Amino acid sequence: MRTRIFALLAILLVAFATSSLADGKKKDKKKETVTYIVSMTCENCKQRIEENIPFEKGVTDLKVDLPAKTVTIEYRADKTTPDKLKAAIQKLGYTAMPFHPKKKEDKN
Domain boundaries, the chain: 30-98
Fold annotation for 30-98 = Alpha-Beta Plaits (3.30.70)
- At CA 95, angle to CA 92 and CA 100, rounded to 5? 125
pTM for the predicted model, two decimal places = 0.68
pLDDT, position 5: 75
Query: Tens digits of per-residue pLDDT, 42-82?
Result: 999 999 999 999 999 999 999 999 999 999 999 999 999 99
Residues ≥6 apart with Cβ < 8 Å to 37? 69, 70, 96, 97, 98, 99
- Does residue 93 register a pLDDT over 80? yes
